Chain A
């Protein structure tokens, strides 16, 4: 059966959805992702949906669910790269994904996640240099 790969990048998990999600695949992704979060104690989950062109209310709900579940396990969720047509569809369906953070692309999503979880104590100085 198909599986969507989940990559670990430091404290974050990166999921890039390259195929159209059918319902079973979405459910598998949800449970895989939750297992992974608990095993790696990830601090953030980044889901890239830039290749997804079709969504339905089920997928919208799955994204919302992933965000709420991760939150309970102390991980922030960022969805990046949503296509305009997808955004319009979700809004028309009344799904505004209120618990989910969004960003334009993976790079901005990573930056957002880093800001959300705050700097680690021993990295604080380096980060400060970066900002200046």
Chain B
């Protein structure tokens, strides 16, 4: 059955767009800082065109192929909005305000035939509801992608390998150590050892909030791998609570060099490399 909505829609396309735009523009939550009016207009027009075309296929099933372009355009818009920092409410309002505009048109056209108006509005509602579900779903998916990317970035940023002296590397670990992060830490450290030919690596764990048996095991693994490569590993920054936990858990760190602070680890490293640091005569700095 060819719905009458389609013909009304085609006839009043310009008005619908105008009323939709004004709906969006008058909304209190409109983010003019994030999106320009022209851009909003283009997005709305694209979607409305695709929607009219899909409706004229006479099909009201969202799963059908006719709606694929609509879903594509909508997904694009929601993902872009997720990246731009729109809230879920603002993103769904984009589609929901179209619903209001369409209902207004149908009401104007059919106000003398209430049963038909009711039926048309029902059909329209079901389609636009599905579309708004699509919007919300893609929005959430977009947000999840962003979160995943940020997680990766954080784990990379938070494990820098620093060359503190010729032949000495330091790796300050900040945040909780889990298996995936330990893998990244271990690989970064070993690569850097090969690259710089450093004989000593200092693992500073003063930024690690808690150590459990798994984390300790990961640390021991890292130390063993470093030893296999021919370098030595010193663990520093072990705080009182962490020392207590380690002993209570029965973890044996006796054949690993451990120091309380990065400074004393550096001192030990100097000792192992026969480097001597002395306070000398004060010289002019030359600038």
Contacts and interface: CB of A to CB of B under 8 A. Distances in A.
Contacts of B198: 104
Contact of B224 (A96, A103, A108): A96
Interface stretch (B98-106, B108-116, B138-146, B228-236): B228-236
B228 A91 contact: yes
Interface stretch (A2-10, A12-20, A79-87): A79-87
Nearest to A104: B230
Nearest to A80: B230
Contacts, number: 55
B190 A104 contact: no
A97 interface: yes
Q: How large is the interface on B (under 10, 10 to 19, 20 to 34, 35 or more residues)?
A: 10 to 19
B229 A104 contact: yes
Q: Which of A84, A90, A102 has the most CB of B within 10 A?
A: A84
B191 interface: yes
A92 B163 CA distance: 27
A101 B227 CA distance: 9
A95 to B, nearest CB: 9
B199 A87 contact: no
A43 to B, nearest CB: 19
A109 interface: yes
A110 to B, nearest CB: 12
A79 B228 CA distance: 8
B190 A88 contact: yes
A111 B229 CA distance: 16
B282 to A, nearest CB: 27
A130 to B, nearest CB: 12
B230 A88 contact: no
Contacts of A91: 221, 224-225, 228
Nearest to A90: B228
Contacts of A97: 228
A108 B190 contact: no
Interface string A92-117: 10001100001111001100000000
Contacts of B224: 91, 96
B65 interface: no
B197 A88 contact: no
A83 B194 contact: yes
Interface in B137-194: 186-187, 190-191, 193-194
B197 A87 contact: no
Contacts of B199: 104, 108
Q: Which of B193, B198, B228, B229 has the most CB of A within 10 A?
A: B228
B187 A88 contact: yes
Contacts of A83: 194
B134 to A, nearest CB: 44
A81 B197 CA distance: 10
Nearest to B188: A84
A2 B101 CA distance: 82
Given A105-B197, A108-B199, A84 B191 contact: yes
A84 B230 contact: no
Interface of B: 186-187, 190-191, 193-194, 197-199, 221, 224-231
Interface of A: 79-84, 86-88, 90-92, 96-97, 102-105, 108-109
Q: Identify the 7 closest CB pairs spanning chains A and B, nearest first.
A: A84-B190, A102-B230, A103-B230, A87-B225, A87-B228, A104-B230, A91-B225
Given A82-B228, A104-B229, 5 more contacts: A86-B228, A88-B186, A97-B228, A102-B230, A104-B199
